[in-house]
């Protein structure tokens, strides 16, 4: 299955949060680079802990602040939320191509988001030098995505090279 060959639907960023949550995200963006930019994001999270818009904003904030452990926690939370509406196993290690090919067409956008979020988790683990876990994530993604639409093959090679150097 080609992970780009479908009609995109149910895009997370098309789901609007409350006006208050949107305002808090905008405020955080305006304050970025200044003390206090994190607080509006945390307030948004407390008001909408299941919002992927909020989680993506928090993830980006932590990543660009080089707070990789916090970014990883947010990515893991997002993965759980994304999986919640899908017919996927609880553990990504149990996924196989059949899981994806047999998924209803209306779930494919969220499955792609799930796979990209898993890639993010692999990348953050790689940056945190958790190479064994990172490698297993990238191996799973390359197994699921034969055409490398998710882009995990290059990251897998990078992890293998880093492990060989260690």
Q: Is the pLDDT of residue 3 over 80?
A: no
Give the pLDDT band of residue 2 (cuts 50, 70, 90).
Answer: very low
Has residue 4 been placed in a domain? no
CA distance 52 to 13: 8
Question: In the chain, how many domains are there?
Answer: 1
pLDDT tens per residue across span 53-82: 999 999 999 999 999 999 999 999 999 999
Q: For residue 123, give the CATH number of its domain.
A: 1.25.40.10
DSSP class of 85: T
6 assigned to some structural domain? no
The answer to whether the beta carbons of residues 118 and 134 sit under 8 Å apart is no
Helices 52-64 and 38-47 cross at an angle (nearest 10°) of 160
Establish if 127 belongs to a structural domain. yes
Do the domain assignments include residue 107? yes
109 falls within a domain: yes
Q: What is the C-alpha separation between 41 and 47, in angstroms, rounded?
A: 10
The reply to whether 1 falls in a domain is no
**What pLDDT is attached to residue 1?**
47
Full residue range of the structural domain in which residue 47 is found: 12-165
């Amino acid at each position: 299955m080609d992970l780009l060959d479908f009609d995109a639907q149910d895009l997370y960023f098309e789901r609007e949060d409350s006006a208050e949550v949107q305002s808090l995200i905008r405020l955080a963006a305006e304050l970025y680079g200044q003390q206090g930019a994190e607080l509006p994001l945390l307030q948004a999270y407390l008001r909408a802990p299941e919002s992927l818009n909020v989680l993506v904003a928090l993830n980006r904030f932590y990543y660009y602040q080089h707070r990789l452990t916090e970014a990883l926690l947010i990515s893991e939370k997002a993965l759980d939320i994304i999986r919640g509406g899908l017919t996927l196993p609880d553990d990504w290690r149990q996924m196989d191509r059949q899981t994806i090919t047999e998924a209803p067409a209306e779930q494919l956008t969220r499955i792609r988001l799930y796979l990209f979020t898993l890639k993010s988790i692999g990348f953050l683990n790689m940056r945190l030098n958790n190479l064994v876990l990172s490698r297993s994530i990238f191996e799973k993604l390359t197994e699921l995505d034969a055409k490398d639409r998710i882009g995990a093959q290059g990251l897998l090679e990078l992890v293998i090279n880093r492990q060989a150097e260690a």
